[in-house]
A and B are shown apart, each in its own frame.
Chain A
Amino acid sequence: MSDMTMHAHDGAQGAGDARGATALALFLWVVVTVALVYGLYETVIKVADLFSG
């Protein structure tokens, strides 16, 4: 494989890696947000007992 082909291959691999990392990070943003909303919702329900009880 020539140097030029190798660099082109590395560049494509780098771009693919960056795309993969971005997709994974965006997925994690969604997961942590949903998890936090779930936790907040469950807590707020309990907190309501404090002032209504």
Chain B
Amino acid sequence: MSLLDRERTIAPRGYNRWLVPPAALAVHLCIGEIYAFSVFKVPLKDHFDTKLTPIGIIFSIAIAMLGLSAAFGGRWVERVGPRKAMALAATCWGSGFLIGAVGVATTQLWVVYLGVGFVGGIGLGIGYISPVSTLIKWFPDRPGMATGLAIMGFGGGALIASPLESKLLSTFADQPQDALVGSFVVLGCVYFVMMMLGAMAVRVPPEGWRPAGWTPREHSERSMITSANVTATNAIKTRQFWLLWIVLFCNVTAGIGILEQAAPMIQDFFPSVTAAAAAGFVGLLSLCNMSGRFVWSSTSDVVGRKRTYMGYLGIGAILYLLLATAGTASIALFVLFTGVILSFYGGGFATVPAYLKDLFGTIEVGAVHGRLLTAWSAAGIAGPLIVNGLADLETSNGKSGADLYTVSLLIMVGVLVVGFIANLMIGRVDSRFHEPVSEAAADEQRFSRDGERVSPSPARGTTTSGSHS
């Protein structure tokens, strides 16, 4: 049996479940570097003596591969378990940088596309989804908090990588464009080691494990939350999956529109803002994005997933409207509105795995999540297109300053309203999509409903419980 096999990752009895999140965080903090890749844009442009657009393609390929590998690799991740998946992600993400270094050293841009974009992008997608279902199984009582903690790491990765990369570029050579090879090699090695440590630390709970003293709540027939399971193949046949796809698409489109244009936007709204202050604004938005992932996703465990998304989309629409109509009133208000919007953007990413668990159960939640992430790829194209395209159009119409963004901000209000309506339409998944319930699981459900212990026969297995300190 290989060290990477799922069987080798089953936690011993009494294993503390709080030892699992750092493994997920180690992976997500590493792959979150992709949000800071813009640090390399100008040095790469100078090194290859080209324009910014061909360099931007590296990021685009990586994000496209993230969505594709998460969508197509989800079922494989569920089958082989988190350790093998994390090890593959570590290999792809680490070697992606090493291949990229070869591309820079030989001045072959296509090799950088292949390395950081294609190979690294596969590492992004597999790494992003690999800890999700494991965490949901360890924290069935607080799935939003658990996945929020991991996915917060993806937002936090850029906070760490951005200053680190700046330091690497100034350490290896006098000119940043000459320091790329060394920086890529160091990052590739560091990320590979950290992600492999995460892979070695991850543990899955034993079959039937549940937190000590916790029993699943019985939900009424009308409740959206299910204790049944739906496979990834069946999930995409349901209306709920596609409604949630629209919800995620709308939430990400609205957020990414601001995120992508943050620095020029604040300077257009307030011409007195310097470039350094605009960089501070981008950093503040990253903080809001990261903290929203943990705070709002944890809140969703208390108020419910549907209400949480009503907040993201409904309050988000109001904030966009305020930005469009009163955004120039003061810097503090502008920063407050955009900060809250970005916290909702991050929260939307982090809450979605728990929403999927509510709708489709835990059996293939990682695979369903992977397929849903195609909404991210689509929004990654739509959001910047709306904001940048309309800003260019308004410029050619002779407008300037905050007026460049009025139409695109109002379009975002409409996008969020569409998402709000889609969220309202999400209901319980029809039972014809549910997997057949085994006898043991039926006994367990009867026990949790009636409060009477059903003596399990050895053939049915037993329910184990463990520490959840």
Which A residues are within 8 Å of any B CB, using their own CB? 14-15, 17-18, 21-22, 24-29, 31-32, 35-36, 38-40, 42-44, 46-51, 53
Rounded to whole Å, the gap between the CB of A24 and the closest CB of chain B is 5
Across the two chains, which residue of chain A brings its CB closest to B278? A50
Chain A contact surface mostly:
helix
The 8 A CB mask of B185-208 against A (1 = contact, 0 = none) is 000000000100110110100000
Chain A contacts for B280, CB-based, 8 A: 46-51, 53
- Interface stretch among B20-28, B387-395, B402-410, B425-433? B20-28
Please report the C-alpha to C-alpha distance between residue A28 and residue B24 in the assembled complex, in whole angstroms: 10
In contact, A24 and B159 (Cβ under 8 angstroms): no
Closest to B198 in A: A28
CA distance A49 to B11 in the complex (A): 47
A36, B160: Cβ atoms closer than 8 Å? yes
State A14–B203 Cα separation when bound (angstroms).
13
Return 5 A-B CB contacts under 8 Å, by A number: A28-B201, A42-B162, A47-B280, A49-B277, A49-B279
Complex interface: stretch among B63-71, B220-228, B281-289: B281-289
Q: A residues within 8 A CB of B160?
A: 35-36, 38-39
Measured CA separation A29–B160 after assembly (Å): 16
The dominant DSSP class at the B interface is: helix
Contact A35 B19 (CB under 8 A): no
Q: Cα distance A25–B281 when bound, in Å?
A: 34
Give the distance to chain B from A5, nearest Cβ to Cβ, in Å.
Answer: 20
Identify A53's interface contact among B22, B277, B283, B286, CB under 8 A: B277
Taken together as a complex, chains A and B put the C-alpha atoms of A32 and B24 apart, in Å, by 10
Which residues in chain B, 232-259, are within 8 Å of chain A measured between CB atoms? none
By the criterion CB–CB under 8 Å, are A39 and B19 in contact? no
Most buried by A among B15, B16, B160, B274: B160
Q: Which residue of B lies closest to A18 (CB)?
A: B12
Docked complex Cα distance between A50 and B156 (Å): 20
> What is the bound-complex CA distance between A44 and B280, given in angstroms?
8
Known A21-B11, A31-B22, A53-B274; further 7 A-B contacts with Cβ < 8 A: A24-B197, A28-B22, A29-B22, A31-B194, A32-B29, A47-B283, A53-B276
- Residue of B25, B194, B283 contacting most chain A CB atoms (<10 Å): B283
CA gap between A39 and B283 in the complex, in Å = 10
Assembly CA distance A53 to B162 (angstroms): 21
Q: How far is the CA of A42 from the CA of B39 in the complex (A)?
A: 15
